[in-house]
Amino acid sequence: MNTRRLITVAAMMAAGLFALPALATPVVIQNSSIKAGVSDFGTLGSDSNTSPGILFDPTGTSSYGINDFLTPGTPWEGFYITAAGGYSQFSNNTTTGGYHGGTTFGTTSPTSITGSSASWTSTSLDGSLKVTNTYTLTTVGGQSIIAISTTLTNLSSSLLSNLEFLRTTDPDPDVNAFGSFFTVNSVLSDNQACGTGPSSGQTICIFSDSAVTHKAGVNGTTGADAPWSRDPSTYLSGTNDGNGDYAIGMGFALGSLASGASDTIDYSYRFGATKEIASGGTVPEPTSIALLGAAILGLGFSRRFARK
């Protein structure tokens, strides 16, 4: 791992930074293909394992089914920020402390913009950094998309150098219907990495064509950072750990951020009934998508499993 180690959960707990206030009701955004929570932690999901996490309907008829990409169980979706000198800030909707969850931003209620968009703004507990995440649901060329815009503002009196940002999630589209956490994962380019449920076929990709230097990856870290890395440099180094119960993510190298300055990153999660659809490849005819969605939904209700 990079020498700019992230602050450990144990250290944060010792410093009292996990003494969080009671959680408010998360905002739910939805359209005909996606229903997702936006949490008090500024992440996707509805505060830990409350439903909805991210529900997806490949037929586009608001029949989301049970294949939640984040819940039930212990969800993993969040963002991590590092800079030179051991600086780190983070937020993840895993509130139990397991899987390195928690936040250095406290909890702040998200704001609904429209029925399909919401925003969240919070300042780190040490007062050094403000983050705004804006989530907007859209559909482009058959892809169902959660477009995300993240703005970082340096509130400290010092330059933040070697600033890096990571957005990451552990997708579990097959858990509810098929009892499996395994995903078939692929890094298609620096711009995109995907995780596919081998039984459902449902796929989530993280994508960006930002001018900011970035790399997509797949990570299955073991050891002190298990189960998945929280360091942007892991992804920026080109990690691709293959198939398994792994995370997909995108690392961004922002360089330096002066005191009072802001920088914005644009990226998205993209969904499809297959990897080809989610990644922007071949799109089946609408009738085929509807039939596939109906089949998946039927299997889901006949083979529902509890998360281990």
**Section 172-185 average pLDDT:** 94
Q: CA–CA separation, 98 vs 10, rounded Å?
A: 11
pLDDT value at 285 more than 80: no
Return d(Cα 147, Cα 268) in angstroms, integer. Answer: 4
β-pair partners for 187: 193
Q: For residue 46, is pLDDT > 70?
A: yes
Summarize the confidence of residues 277-291 as an average pLDDT.
60
Whether pLDDT at 284 is above 90: no
Q: What is the mean pLDDT of residues 253-280?
A: 97
* Residue 9, pLDDT score: 36
Q: Indicate if the pLDDT at residue 101 is higher than 50.
A: yes
Q: What is the pTM of this model?
A: 0.84
C-alpha span between 302 and 308 (Å, rounded): 18
Mean pLDDT of 283-289: 43
Mean of the per-residue pLDDT values of the chain = 84
Mean pLDDT value across residues 104-118: 96
More confident: 43 or 286 = 43
Query: According to the model, what pLDDT value does residue 100 have?
Result: 57
Cα–Cα nearest to 252, from 194, 211, 204, 193: 211
Query: Does CATH number 2.70.98.10 belong to domain 9-302?
Result: yes
The proportion of the chain whose per-residue pLDDT surpasses 70, expressed as a percent, equals 79
Q: For residue 297, is pLDDT > 50?
A: no
Cα-based torsion angle of the residue sequence 85, 91, 94, 100 in order, rounded to the nearest 10 degrees? 0
pLDDT tens for 198-216 read 999 999 999 999 999 999 9
Q: How confident is the model at residue 223 (pLDDT cuts 50, 70, 90)?
A: low
**Does pLDDT of 55 surpass 60?**
yes
3-state secondary structure of 217: strand
pLDDT tops 60 at residue 187 = yes
CA 199 from centre of chain: 22
- Residue 145 predicted with pLDDT over 80: yes
Query: Is residue 83 a contact partner of residue 161, using CB atoms and an 8 Å limit?
Result: yes
As a whole number, mean pLDDT of residues 237-249 equals 96
- Amino acid 93: pLDDT: 83
Of residues 229 and 98, more confidence is placed in 229
- Amino acid identity of residue 224, one-letter, is A
pLDDT of residue 141: 78
Q: How confident is the model at residue 73 (pLDDT cuts 50, 70, 90)?
A: low
Listing DSSP states for 142-203 in one string gives TEEEEEEEEEEEE-SSS-EEEEEEEEEE---TTHHHH----BEEEEEETTEEEEE-TTT--E
Q: Between the CA atoms of 268, 109, 33 and 208, what dihedral angle is there, to the nearest 10 degrees?
A: 0
- Cite the DSSP H helix spans in the chain: 9-14, 175-178, 232-236, 275-278, 286-302
CB 96 within 8 A of CB 186: no
**306 token code pair:** 């509890």
pLDDT band with cut points at 50, 70 and 90 for residue 225: low
Residue ranges of the domains in the chain?
9-302
For residues 194 and 241, give the distance between their C-alpha atoms in angstroms, rounded to a whole number: 12
Dist. CA 293–CA 300, nearest whole Å: 10
